[in-house]
Each structure stands twice: as structure tokens, then as C-alpha cells.
């Protein structure tokens, strides 16, 4: 067992742990990500936006698909033309109906009409372009939801292991405080034996007070970190999850390779396609539209859907080439929006390339920093052990002993931070490259140390 492992076991031993029988099952990173997928606030917002965009896309089908509707109504009139028309529709015309007095002064008549109407778009180029624009916007919303979800997953990793880091720092400081208390007791014994001065005891007590303050601060940070994790998961106030006790070491062999096109780039491309389709729609709106229609209807004096049925079919062309210039202004606006969307794609791709390069650099630095930090832990622990033996033999002062302890404590806290930085840097690189975080999450869960496994 290495010096670092022995220190970790000692830290866990002095920690105040909840009895295992009373603990809930451990919250794995994969489970935390799964919860966030359904409950995290950004994911819920993005999901609602995607559903709304899909609904708008479905509504755009109205301009290209046939429609069927029905009508039922009743009309009563004394208008000569209307009254005679009712007789014709109801197939109730008799020779007496042509009496000039009755034609000029008809009695009020009622017509109860019912109809089934079919409408068939035949040539609506602007409707087809509008449909493409709506579909591309729905695609953009889907990609945006994926990008937001990936960002939330990264936040979950950061806050999850941020809470674990705070807990590990708390444990390290507790172990350091216990070691400091032992130094104080040793100094008190040596003072009674006359082998050290009172200043040695006072220095040990001062260092013990500093450790107690740092431990209390770490405990407060651990509580806050759990609240932050609960907020990211979309369950504010739920801080009862059982987390790993230490930050796992992420090996380079588990790093994912670069994935497919990033979701934010895909969203920008879909938005550009939508803007170009909208520009086409505005241009096609200047062209004629051709639509077909058909009616199957009934007319009766008292009853809906009664009387002899009749039908009508037809084709209608409409054209509005100029409406005060508004359509021309809308076309210019749509073209400008399409150009802006094309610039947006280029900007997003450039930003993605920069983020990828930065993430690769940060990971390389974090990995090297972890190697240095791990070596520093071994070196500081060995130096502490040597100084402690020299102190026991009267060859070192208590100040030297306390300085060696502080150096080791700082090295262990730094090494824990370095492990955390590697995890965050690796996950950031995966997201920047469009890779899936699932392999990293599985590897981290597999190497995580939970209280139940002790």
C-alpha cells in the first residue's frame, strides 16, 4: 500500500460517516446524468422549445395537404333574389313561384344548408418553401436540445465531482486536524518533560487552530456543493444523495475520440437552411397560386342534411403581385436574415474549432499537473515522515514538524484538485469535439469509491 493510499484510509477512518444501514443507495454519475436529462431546468426549457417547433412544423403542412371541413347553417330572408334562390336550392320551384307578385314581394323563407367542403392545394410554391423552413427550424430546435443537454451533462459532472472534491478535502483536513492534535499532545508531554519550550507548544496550538478553521470551511463548502449539485439536477434542496468519498483517477485510455458534428453547429446549419427556405417562400409569394375545391351540400326548409344533394368542383388561380410594397420589403428582410444565418454557421464552426483546441491544451496541462501533484504527495509524505523521526530524536524543532505537515496537507489537497481538473478537462474536450460522454461517465463510475465499498 502506498503512502497516499494509507493516508486516504486514515482519512476515511477518522471521518464521521452515517451508518451504512441508514444510507440510501449511492448516486452514481450515470444516474445523476439520467435525472438531469428529465428534471434539469435548461433541459426542460429546451425540450419545450423543441416540441413547440415541431408543432409549428406540423402546422405548416396545412399549405400543402388537402383539407376537409363541414358547414351547417340556417338563413331566413325576404330578399327576392335570396328567397327565390332558396326555392331553387331546395328543389321546390313550382309554376306558382313565378307569379310576379310573389317574386316582387316574397314571403320570408328559411334555408337550412349543410355542406362538406374539400380544398386541394395544387400549385402553392410559397407554401412548400414555408413547410421546408418550418421543418428545418424544428431540426434546429432538436439539435439545440441536444447541445443544451450535453452542456447540462458537463455541468452535472462538474458539480457531482465538485461535491465529491469538497468531501475529500473535508476528509483530508479532518485527518490533518487529527495529526495536528497529536502534535499538540506530544508538545504538551515534551513541555512537561522539559525537552521543548512553551513557544513550541504555542506554535502547535496555533497550527491546530488553523486546521480546525480550514476544516470548518471545508464542511461548509461541502454542504454548498451538494446544494449546487441538487440545483443542476433540477431538484433544489435534495442533498441526501450518497456520493463517492474521493475523486477517482481518470486514465488516458478512457478518453473518447472526437465525435461527429457538434450539435450547436448542426443547429446553426439547420437554422441557416430554414432562413434560406424562408427567403424562397418570400420570393415564391410573388407567384400565382392555384387551388382546387369541391362542395357536396344539402338544402332544406327545416332539416340539416336533408333534401336532394348537389355538388360543385372547381379550380381557382389567384395572384397578388403587388400589395403596397410590403411583400418586396419582406423579401429583402428574408434575404438579409439568410445571410446572417450563413454568417452564424461560419462563426459557430470557428468557435467550435477554437474551443476544441483550448480543451485539448487544458487537458494536456491538467494531466501533467496531476503527475506533478501525485509526485509531490509522495515526496511531501516522505519528507514529513523524516522530519517526524528527527523530531522524535530531538534533531528537529516543532516548527519544522508543523511545516512538514502543512506541506504534505497542501500537496494532498492539490492532488485532489488535480484529479478533479483532469476529469473536467476530459469531459470538456469530449463535448468540444462532439463526442459522447457516456464512456467517460461509465469509466468514472467504475473507478469511484463509495462508502459501501469500504
CATH number for the domain spanning 158: value is 1.20.1600.10
Q: Are residues 316 and 435 in the same domain?
A: no
Please choose, from the candidates 314, 295, 298, the residue with its C-alpha nearest in 3D space to the C-alpha of residue 306: 298
- Does residue 333 fall inside a structural domain? no
339 within a domain of the structure (yes/no): no
**CA dist 195 → 180, 217, 389, 390, 397 (Å):** 19, 35, 15, 14, 11
- Do 302 and 371 fall within a single domain? no
d(CA 405, CA 385): 9
Residues 256 and 396 in one domain: yes
User: What pLDDT is attached to residue 241?
Assistant: 80
The number of domains in the chain is: 2
Model confidence at 6, pLDDT cuts 50, 70, 90, reads very low
Q: Which of 172-186, 254-268, 364-378 has the lowest mean pLDDT?
A: 254-268
Mean of pLDDT values over 23-50: 90
- 329 in any annotated domain: no
Is the pLDDT confidence value at 166 over 60? yes
In a domain, 380, yes or no: yes
Give the model's pLDDT for residue 173.
87
Q: How many C-beta atoms surround the C-beta of residue 318 within 10 A?
A: 8
DSSP letter at 242 equals B
pLDDT digits (tens, 9 = 90+) for 127-140: 999 999 999 999 99
Residue 438 lies in a domain: yes
pLDDT at 10 over 70: no
Spatial separation of the C-alpha atoms in residues 152 and 147, rounded to whole Å: 9
Residue 278's nearest CA partner among 332, 347, 343, 321 is 332
Q: What is the Cβ-side half-sphere exposure of residue 364, based on CA atoms within 13 angstroms?
A: 6
Domain of 114, in residue numbers: 67-123+287-320
Q: Are residues 293 and 163 in the same domain?
A: no
Q: Is the pLDDT of residue 121 over 80?
A: yes
The β-bridge partners of 67 are: 119
Distance CA(200)–CA(398), nearest Å, equals: 6
pLDDT at residue 194 tops 50? yes
- pLDDT at position 22 is 42
Same domain, 233 and 356: yes
Q: Which residue is listed with cell 437552411? A: 273
pLDDT at 3: 42
- With contact defined as beta carbons under 8 Å apart, do 449 and 15 qualify? no
Distance CA 381, CA 408 (A): 6
Residue 17 has pLDDT above 60, yes or no: no
* Residue 424 is assigned to a structural domain of this protein: yes
Task: For residue 345, give every residue at least 6 positions away whose Cβ sits within 8 Å of its Cβ, in sequence order, or none.
Answer: 265, 268, 269, 271, 272
Identify the residue with better confidence: 449 or 19.
449
- Residue 77: is its pLDDT beyond 80? yes
> Taking 60 as the threshold, does the pLDDT of residue 181 lie above it?
yes
**pLDDT score, position 198:** 83
Strand partners, 295: 117, 312
Question: What band does 167 get if pLDDT is binned at 50, 70 and 90?
Answer: confident
pTM of the model: 0.81
Over residues 251-255, mean pLDDT: 65
Render pLDDT for 292-337 as a digit per residue (tens, 0 to 9): 999 999 999 999 999 899 999 999 999 887 777 788 888 899 999 9
Is the same domain home to 73 and 217? no
312 and 399 share one domain: no
Helix (H, G, I), strand (E, B) or coil at 139: helix
| Percent of the chain surpassing pLDDT 90 | 54
Residues 301 and 361 in one domain: no
199, 4 in Cβ contact below 8 A? no
- The verdict on residue 367 lying in a domain is yes
Please indicate, yes or no, if residue 280 is contained in any of the structural domains: no
**Percent of the residues in the chain that have a pLDDT greater than 70, as a whole number:** 92
Q: What is the per-residue pLDDT across 367-399, written as a single tens digit (0 to 9) for each?
A: 999 999 999 999 999 998 998 888 777 788 777
Same domain? 57 vs 71: no
Amino acid at each position: 500500500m502506498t503512502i497516499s493510499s494509507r493516508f486516504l484510509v486514515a482519512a476515511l477512518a477518522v471521518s464521521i460517516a452515517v451508518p451504512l444501514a441508514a444510507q440510501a443507495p449511492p448516486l452514481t454519475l450515470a444516474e445523476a446524468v439520467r435525472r438531469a436529462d428529465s428534471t434539469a431546468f435548461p433541459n426542460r426549457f429546451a425540450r419545450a422549445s423543441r416540441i413547440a417547433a415541431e408543432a409549428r412544423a406540423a402546422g405548416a403542412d396545412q399549405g400543402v395537404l388537402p383539407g376537409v371541413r363541414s358547414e351547417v347553417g340556417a338563413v331566413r330572408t325576404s330578399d327576392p333574389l335570396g328567397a327565390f334562390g332558396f326555392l331553387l336550392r331546395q328543389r321546390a320551384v313550382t309554376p306558382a313561384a313565378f307569379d310576379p307578385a310573389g317574386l316582387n314581394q316574397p314571403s320570408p323563407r328559411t334555408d337550412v344548408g349543410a355542406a362538406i367542403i374539400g380544398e386541394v392545394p395544387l400549385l402553392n410554391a410559397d407554401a412548400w418553401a414555408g413547410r421546408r423552413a418550418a421543418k428545418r427550424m424544428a431540426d434546429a430546435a432538436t439539435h439545440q436540445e441536444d447541445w443544451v443537454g450535453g452542456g447540462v451533462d458537463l455541468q452535472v459532472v462538474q458539480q457531482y465531482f465538485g461535491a465529491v472534491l469538497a468531501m475529500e478535502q473535508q476528509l483530508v483536513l479532518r485527518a490533518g486536524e487529527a495529526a495536528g492534535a497529536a502534535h499538540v499532545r506530544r508538545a504538551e508531554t515534551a513541555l512537561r518533560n522539559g525537552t521543548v519550550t512553551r513557544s513550541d507548544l504555542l506554535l502547535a496550538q496555533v497550527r491546530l487552530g488553523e486546521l480546525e478553521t480550514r476544516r470548518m470551511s471545508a464542511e461548509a463548502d461541502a454542504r454548498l456543493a451538494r446544494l449546487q449539485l441538487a440545483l443542476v439536477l433540477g431538484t433544489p434542496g435534495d442533498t441526501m444523495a450518497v456520493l463517492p468519498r474521493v475523486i477517482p483517477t481518470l486514465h488516458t485510455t478512457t478518453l473518447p475520440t472526437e465525435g461527429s458534428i457538434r450539435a450547436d453547429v448542426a443547429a446553426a446549419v439547420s437554422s441557416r437552411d430554414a432562413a434560406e427556405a424562408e427567403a424562397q417562400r418570400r420570393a415564391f409569394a410573388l407567384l400565382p397560386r392555384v387551388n382546387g375545391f369541391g362542395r357536396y351540400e344539402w338544402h332544406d326548409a327545416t332539416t340539416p342534411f336533408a333534401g336532394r344533394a348537389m355538388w360543385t368542383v372547381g379550380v381557382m388561380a389567384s395572384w397578388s403581385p403587388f400589395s403596397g410594397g410590403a411583400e418586396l420589403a419582406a423579401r429583402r428582410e428574408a434575404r438579409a436574415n439568410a445571410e446572417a444565418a450563413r454568417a452564424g454557421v461560419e462563426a459557430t464552426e470557428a468557435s467550435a474549432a477554437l474551443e476544441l483546441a483550448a480543451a485539448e491544451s487544458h487537458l494536456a496541462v491538467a494531466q501533467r499537473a496531476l503527475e506533478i501533484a501525485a509526485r509531490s504527495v509522495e515526496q511531501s509524505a516522505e519528507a514529513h515522515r523524516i522530519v517526524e523521526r528527527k523530531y522524535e530524536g530531538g534533531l528537529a524543532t516543532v516548527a519544522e514538524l508543523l511545516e512538514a505537515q502543512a506541506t504534505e496537507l497542501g500537496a494532498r489537497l492539490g492532488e485532489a484538485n488535480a484529479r478533479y481538473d483532469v476529469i473536467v478537462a476530459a469531459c470538456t474536450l469530449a463535448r468540444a469535439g462532439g463526442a459522447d460522454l457516456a464512456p467517460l461517465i461509465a469509466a468514472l463510475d467504475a473507478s469511484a469509491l463509495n462508502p459501501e465499498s469500504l
